[in-house]
Each structure stands twice: as C-alpha cells, then as structure tokens.
Amino acid sequence: MPEPAELNRTAGPAGFRRSWHTKLPLAWLIVAALFLITSLTAYLVDLAVHPNMMLTWYDLNVYNDAGLITRQLPSILYSWQLSPGIGFTYTPFAAVLFAAGSLLPWVTLRWSMTVVGLVCVPLTVWLTLGGLGRRGLSRAAVAFAVSALALWTEPVMKSLLLGQIEPLLLLLVVWDLTRSDQRKWKGAGIGLAAGIKLVPLIFIPYLLLAGKIRQAAVATATFAATIVIGFIALPRPSVTWWLTGYFIRPGRTGGVASLVNQSLLGMLARQFGGMNAIRPVWLPIDIAVALIGVAAGALMTRTGRQVQGWTTVGLTSVLVSPISWDHHWVWIVPFLAMLAGLAMQARVLARLGYLAAMLATAGIFGNWPSKYSGPLAFVPRNSGLLAWFLPPQQIDRVTRLTGVQLLTWNLFVIAGCVGYLVMLIVAWRVWRSRPARPVRPGNASDTSTAADRKADAGWPAGHPALADNAGSYRRAGSRQAGSCRVDSPVLG
C-alpha cells in the first residue's frame, strides 16, 4: 500500500493518484546534480579570483578570540572588544564550545567552518523535503537544485564570508524538528541551539501549542542544562550574562538602526529615529507578531502540515528578534525547500505558482554583484535585488526614509513579512476547513472514533486508512503509525 504522503487529490471522484515525482526520470537527477556542481564550481572560481571578498572569517575570528579568552582570562569575556563596538555576545555555554574550537590551528578552524557551512545548506534542504514526505530520486534531484540556488543567496554567502555559526544552528533546529515524535530525545537539538543563541527559544512554545509536550520538556531541560554548564565553567561571565540583564540589551550586538539589521525593530528604528523613540511601539508589535506566528505554526502542525508550521515559526523568529543581521535570514533555505517540496505534488498551475515564489525569493535575497548594488547599498559589495536604487549614504547613518528607500532599505524584513502573512492566511484556511468531531447526544465527552482522529490529523476523506482497522496502513518499520501529511491546494 503506498504511503498517504505519496498521494494527491484529483478533480474527479477517484480521489487520488500517484504524484509525478514518483516517476521522476533519472535524467532529471543528473541535470540537478550538474546544476549543483556548476554552482559549487562557480563559488570556488569566485573564491580563487576574489579571496578577500569571498572569505574574511571576521565573525569566526571573534569566536576564536573569545575561546582563547575563555581559556586564559574569562573575567574579561564580555568587556573585551576585537575592535570598537565588536565583542563577544553569545552565551557562556557558547564560549565553552568556542574554547574547545580554539584548540584547533587557525587555518584548520577557518576552512573547517567554511566546509561545514557549505554542507549545512544541502543537508537542511534534504531534511526539509523529507519532512514533507518526499522520498527517492525525486528528493535527491530537488535537493540538488534547491541547494544550488540557495548557495547564491545573500544570507548564505554572508554566513560563509564571516565564518558564521548560523547555518549550523539552522541545521540543528531543522534536524530536530524533522525527527519522529517517537524519538526519545527529540527537542534536545532546539535546546542546544537555544543554549548557544537565544532566538531558537521561540520553538519551545510552538512545541507546547502543537501538543508536543514531551519534546518541549526535553528542549527546556536541555536549554537549562546549558545554563548550568555555563555557570559551572564560567561563573563570573554567567552572572554578567544572565543576572545583570546583559542578554536582553539589543544594542550589545551592534547598532539597532544599522541597515544590515533586517528585523522589525531595525525597520522601525530607521524610520522613527532610533531605539528610544520606538521602544513603546515596537515591544507590543513584536509580542503580537510572535504570538500569532507561533499559534499559526502550531495550528498547521496539528493538521499534519508540520514543515509549513515550523517554517512559519522560523520566519517569525527572524522578524521578532531585536537584531536580525542579513546572514540570520538563512531561514530562507528551508523556506525555498518547502516551496519546492510542495511543487512536487501540486497541479500544474499551483506548481507554477510555487516555482514563481521560489524564484522571487531567490531574487530578493540574491547575492547580487556590487556593480548592481553599489558600494554603500544594502550590504557593502553584496546586496538585495532592488538596492541599486539607493543613493550613496553611510550604512550606519540612517535618517528618515522616503520613497523607494522604504522598500530597498528594508527589503529582507518586508519580504519576510509577506511570507509571514501568506503563512497566516494558510493557517486561517486550515482552521476554517478543519473537520468537526461528532459527539453523541447526551454525552459531552469526546467520543470520536479512530477514523475521526485520523481525519483530524490530516488524512483525506475517503482514504481506506480512515477505517477503524487502518493499522495495516502504517509504513513498514515505522514507529509512528497512523500519521501522515497530505498536501492541500494551498501550501500543502
């Protein structure tokens, strides 16, 4: 019996058909592999021609120096500065990890981080497609193609340029979220990522609202363990980080109004004159956006659209974080993979829509050459698609914006808001179309049958698995019987 995730709706009463991707020719896999090889080759050629523009490992240098300080003079960990305004801002637990990394020779550490960053992109895409139920050669072909496209987006390129840990944290969270709910330690990846950088904490309330109580508890316990480890290894820096309010100061990581801070806070600060002017307005907006985004993600997860659910929360996390540098937008990698995975089982017109959305996302977040963006545009030497409209102006000297600057100087956050709103619309439609559970007259308790519960979990009406004896339709060897994901016409 085919897995329900491999089935799709048809217009007629027959109900289902095998998707085109189950019959994907081997030729498409070869073409996609060649696309990825070409993309990587172009990156290596560009690296050979412009080594100082492609890789500076600037942030990795901060990590490495912080690791050395942690080993030798930890008392100055949060007062030390690599250069004016540039210091270590991660957790004490992260400092312990970086101290271990600093034991490696600098050359080895640099190139190891670059290779890890490159590998994280296709692995994230692969896991996302697997979370959508895509299998076989089609999964590999689409993973190759999406990875080749994602490599040349500005957040990925900027992360590689700086030697950032962001792609690794993204992979850790996505890996954790795509594991089976039956895994004993599911949630530990989220807790570990949050122990290094606090933003992934948003996934804990998401797990709670999605009904994954045990996973949320594991994530919380793992995060708490990282705090304890930090206090044991670095007691004084831990007091500074956790007990003096240091970790909630947005300005500790750089200028809030800086052009490369593509968060809601950054956009408002640029428009209305800095952090102090917009603090009373920003905080309620941020809380509302976070709560709605988490609730929408949990709703989609409860109806069997798990990838769409946690992708929504990922977009929300970048929007509501006080500081979201351009390289923090690596969350577009699973977003692109999600669109590609949904296109694999969509009808022709819907498939074209998904592909158009992918191209638009890749274009907006593209790592465009400086001759199109200008040396002082969105990011020096690398920029978003529309930033070449900008007049010369210093990045950190932003005044009130007007006209096209409102779009181009806030390009990432506006694009993120559009994606966020689309996902909210999808969640609303899912909620409106949810099946009602029958309740027997005179009994207020839930008396739904096994078939009712499967229908609520996302099984399509009329499928044989809705029978009460549907246990025979479980995947061979699966530890999670009676669950699947079925795509609907809009974002699954």
d(CA 446, CA 386): 54
Inform me whether the pLDDT recorded for 50 exceeds 50: yes
Residues 6+ apart with CB under 8 A from 9: 15, 16, 460, 489
d(CA 25, CA 47): 34
pTM for this predicted structure: 0.81
CA dihedral (66, 71, 76, 79) in degrees, to 10, reads 10
Inform me whether the pLDDT recorded for 56 exceeds 80: yes
Residue 399: predicted pLDDT: 52
pLDDT tens digits for range 277-323: 788 888 999 999 999 999 999 999 999 999 999 999 999 999 999 99
d(CA 170, CA 222): 17
Q: Pairing between strand 81-83 and 86-87?
A: antiparallel
Residue 82: predicted pLDDT: 87
Residue 434: predicted pLDDT: 77
Go through the chain and tell me how many residues it has.
Answer: 492
Instruction: Give the residue carrying structure tokens 């999808």.
Output: 426
Average pLDDT, the chain: 82
Domain boundaries of the chain, sorted by first residue: 18-367+410-435+451-461
H-helix or E-strand containing 426? helix 411-432
DSSP 265-328: HHHHHHHHTSHHHHHHHHHHHHHHHHHHHHHHHHHHHHTT-HHHHHHHHHHHHHHHSS--BGGG
Counting residues of the chain whose pLDDT is more than 90, the rounded percentage is 61
d(CA 338, CA 333): 9
Task: Quote the tokens at residue 486.
Answer: 């079925």
Greater pLDDT, 256 or 229 = 229
Long-range contacts of 114-120 (CB under 8 A, 24+ apart): 114/55, 114/57, 114/160, 114/163, 116/167, 116/168, 117/156, 117/159, 117/160, 117/163, 117/164, 117/167, 117/168, 118/40, 118/151, 118/160, 120/167, 120/168, 120/170, 120/171
d(CA 345, CA 10): 11
How many other CB atoms are there within 10 angstroms of residue 490's CB atom? 15
For residue 476, the Cα-to-chain-centroid distance in whole angstroms is: 31
Residue 184: predicted pLDDT: 92
HSE (CB half, 13 Å, CA atoms) of 130? Answer: 14
Least confident segment among 17-31, 36-50, 421-435: 17-31
d(CA 232, CA 213): 29
Residue 240: predicted pLDDT: 92
Inform me whether the pLDDT recorded for 445 exceeds 80: no
- What are the two backbone dihedrals, phi and then psi, of residue 18, each rounded to the nearest 5 degrees? -75, 140
What is the mean predicted confidence (pLDDT) over 196-206?
97
